[in-house]
Amino acid sequence: MRARSLLFAALLLGFAAPVVYGAEYISGIEWAKPAIIDPGPPGGPPSDAVVLFDGKDMSQWKNAEEWIVKDGCVTAAKGAIESKPVFGDCQVHVEFATPSEVVGSSQGRGNSGVFLMGTYELQVLDSYDNETYFDGQCGSIYKQHPPLVNASRKPGEWQTYDIAWTAPRFDSDGKLVSPAFITVFHNGVLVQNHFQLEGDTPYHRAPQYTAHADKGPIGLQYHGDPIRFRNIWVREVKEVEHKRVADPSVRN
């Protein structure tokens, strides 16, 4: 009995013994302190965002004279529009609603688009119970990649796009150095997962890259349908500054 008690005590001591780790890994990178921002209300702009449309006016847009601002949203009308501010790598939030009255079918139903850098289209379409070619439905990178799932709400209901955009890079000779990448959440559902774009997104030919500036506008398309938009904002995305330190054993 005494032997069993001693064994039990030894087991308890074993469980209570401190865990011994090896030497701590130090990366040797000295990181700058990440900026502190106010994330804002749910769906609302963070404190470091550029607000492109707050429901009041279209002063942040070019060629928007025909678009109709009413009741906190703007309705697409004659002509495509582009933001006055320009962006490279960025996070984009857009809310949109296709017409509640269903007219047409396929690409003729609730058609619009969000253009990154004025060139690369994320399709807007009424894809609720509406068949069309898959790389042209809502949430697709137009003519390149369908959404992973169809997360569309009913016609007339408000929907959201949350986009993470990595801009393409070109060298001084206009040669592509690295392609564009996009991640998209449609109504909170992942529909594009770090997709690598093959180039621009035209209707009439294969995609291709053509050198352009490091930053470009956000574009909204008018395709003949009265699509409504609201709560549009963009955050520039920048890597945290860092440098290699001479003695990696010393923490920053």
pLDDT of 103: 87
User: Which pLDDT score, from 0 to 100, does residue 27 have?
Assistant: 84
Within 10 Å of residue 46's Cβ, how many Cβ atoms? 14
Q: At a CB cut-off of 8 Å and minimum separation 6, what does 38 contact?
A: 46, 47
Distance CA 18, CA 62 (A): 65
Whole-number Å distance between alpha carbons of 124 and 194? 19
CA angle in degrees (0–180, nearest 5) for 57-58-64: 140
According to DSSP, the residues that pair with 62 across neighbouring strands are 82
Q: State the pTM of this model.
A: 0.87
pLDDT digits (tens), the chain, 252 positions: 555 565 555 555 555 556 667 788 888 888 889 899 999 988 789 999 999 999 999 999 999 999 999 999 999 999 999 999 999 999 999 999 999 988 889 997 989 999 999 999 999 999 999 999 999 999 999 999 999 999 999 999 999 999 999 999 999 999 999 999 999 999 999 999 999 999 999 999 999 999 999 999 999 999 999 999 999 999 999 887 778 877 666 555
Compute the chain's Rg from CA coordinates: 25
Task: Name the 3-class secondary structure at 232.
Answer: strand
Closest by CA to 136, choosing from 91, 198, 202, 74, is 202
Cα–Cα distances in angstroms (integers) from residue 197 to residues 142, 145, 183, in the given order = 10, 9, 11
Q: Please report, for the chain, the start and end positions of each structural domain, with discontinuous segments joined by +.
A: 30-242
Superfamily per CATH, domain 30-242: Exo-inulinase; domain 1 (2.60.120.560)
The predicted pLDDT at position 20 comes to: 64
Of the candidates 191, 212, 209, the one whose C-alpha atom is nearest the C-alpha of residue 201 is: 209
Per-residue pLDDT, 23: 84
Q: Would you state the pLDDT for residue 61?
A: 98
As a whole number of Å, the end-to-end CA separation of the chain is 56
Beta-carbon-side half-sphere exposure of residue 47 (alpha carbons within 13 Å): 5
Instruction: Name the residue type at position 61.
Output: W
Cα-Cα-Cα-Cα dihedral sign, residues 124, 125, 126, 129: negative
